């Protein structure tokens, strides 16, 4: 792989991914909840959302594919965290798309997807149902023979829900599952931290101030160069019709979390462990060494319970690894391609390590 001259502690990113391999934007219509238009939407975009059939909404997804076969039978779905969107995976998807169709959805309420009329729909059951609709559409386009899943935080929980429920109408079972800094047990203090900023202060005078504000609350992502952070921020920020810019997501995604209590979180944890223990896929658990969401004890338990995940700990990173550093990308690729002997721990220098041609 050829990398540009970006010099970051965590390593450079592939410039040719952005010059030679851009994704296509697609949509899938999903039942179960009525659509609303994003606050930042143009008149045309607003009309598209409001013209959806009753009880329907659209989920956007980005498709990467440089296999030379638009109907390639290997599909990798990459799903982002709570307040993020599918373009978070640009660097990883550009690499994985050499050998698979890579699908990066914007979960409803984020990115280019519709918002929901009822914010209480912003919960895992609807997200999982939307992914089933997406997989059905992909299967209708071209038969899926091999299905893998990469999920960061919330995206990992969605993946656990799909991989851990026998009998769901998946085209094929999930073969390999990457859980990026998430597991069945989520630390309550981390949820309180996320709740302290989620859905608040979303308007800014310009791109630079918005990107800087996001960086302040994203220290757990680990070190990034200015260029890497600019790329991660681009799809997060939209022009505001009222002036300035606004973050991409519906601030009301915070409402279901606001109704959560320690007791309800513990009940959810029991259900998630049940799902995890039913997973038949091979599992790679990536944990930020400084994560406040996925504890070391939970990660250890995940290596012995259920599918017996292989755990790789990333030093000097918290919640959640962005999977843009060359060594992080290589780790995911090697796992999905079936390589054995993956590391149990990676230093910052190893995460920045470029692979030889």
Strand arrangement, sheet containing 282-288: 24-31, 56-64, 101-106, 74-79, 146-152, 174-180, 282-288, 310-314, 345-346
Q: Is residue 145 a contact partner of residue 74, using CB atoms and an 8 Å limit?
A: yes
Give the torsion sign (CA, 269, 275, 276, 278): positive
Q: Which residue has the tokens 């935080």?
A: 153
* pLDDT recorded at residue 356: 53
Report the alpha-carbon distance of residue 228 to residue 13 in Å, rounded.
7
Phi and psi torsions of 338, nearest 5°: 85, 15
Q: Is residue 309 a contact partner of residue 179, using CB atoms and an 8 Å limit?
A: yes
pTM assigned to the model:
0.93
* pLDDT recorded at residue 25: 97
Please report, for the chain, the start and end positions of each structural domain, with discontinuous segments joined by +. Answer: 15-351
Q: With a cut of 70, which residues of the chain have pLDDT below it? A: 1-20, 356-357
* pLDDT recorded at residue 281: 98
* pLDDT recorded at residue 4: 27
Distance of CA 52 to the CA centre of its chain: 25
* pLDDT recorded at residue 201: 81
* pLDDT recorded at residue 268: 92
Of 276, 274, 342, 350, the C-alpha closest to 310 is 342
CATH homologous superfamily of 15-351: Alpha/Beta hydrolase fold, catalytic domain (3.40.50.1820)
């Amino acid at each position: 792989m050829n990398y540009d001259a970006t010099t970051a502690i965590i390593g450079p990113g592939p410039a040719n991914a952005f010059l030679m391999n851009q994704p296509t934007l697609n949509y899938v219509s999903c039942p179960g909840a009525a659509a609303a238009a994003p606050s930042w939407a143009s008149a045309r975009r607003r009309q598209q959302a409001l013209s959806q059939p009753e009880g329907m909404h659209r989920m956007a997804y980005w498709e990467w594919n440089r296999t030379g076969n638009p109907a390639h039978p290997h599909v990798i779905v990459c799903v982002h965290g709570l307040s993020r969107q599918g373009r978070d995976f640009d660097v990883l998807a550009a690499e994985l798309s050499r050998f698979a169709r890579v699908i990066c959805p914007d979960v409803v309420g984020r990115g280019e997807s519709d918002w929901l009329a009822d914010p209480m729909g912003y919960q895992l059951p609807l997200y999982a149902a939307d992914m089933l609709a997406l997989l059905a559409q992909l299967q209708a386009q071209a038969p899926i023979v091999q299905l893998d899943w990469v999920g960061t935080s919330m995206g990992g929980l969605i993946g656990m829900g799909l991989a851990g429920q026998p009998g769901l109408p998946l085209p094929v079972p999930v073969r390999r599952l990457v859980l990026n800094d998430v597991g069945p047990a989520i630390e309550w203090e981390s949820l309180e931290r996320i709740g302290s900023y989620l859905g608040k202060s979303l308007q800014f005078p310009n791109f630079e101030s918005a990107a800087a504000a996001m960086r302040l609350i994203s220290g757990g992502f680990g070190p990034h160069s200015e260029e890497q952070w600019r790329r991660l921020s681009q799809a997060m920020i939209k022009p505001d019709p009222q002036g300035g810019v606004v973050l991409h997501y519906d601030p009301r995604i915070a409402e279901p979390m606001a109704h959560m209590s320690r007791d309800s979180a513990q009940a959810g944890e029991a259900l998630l462990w049940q799902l995890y223990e039913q997973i038949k896929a091979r599992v790679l658990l990536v944990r930020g060494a400084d994560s406040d969401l996925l504890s070391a004890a939970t990660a250890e338990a995940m290596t012995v319970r259920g599918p017996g995940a292989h755990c790789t700990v990333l030093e000097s990173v918290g919640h959640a690894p962005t999977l843009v550093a060359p060594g992080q990308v290589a780790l995911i690729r090697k796992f999905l391609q079936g390589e054995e002997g993956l590391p149990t721990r990676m230093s910052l220098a190893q995460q920045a390590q470029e692979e030889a041609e």
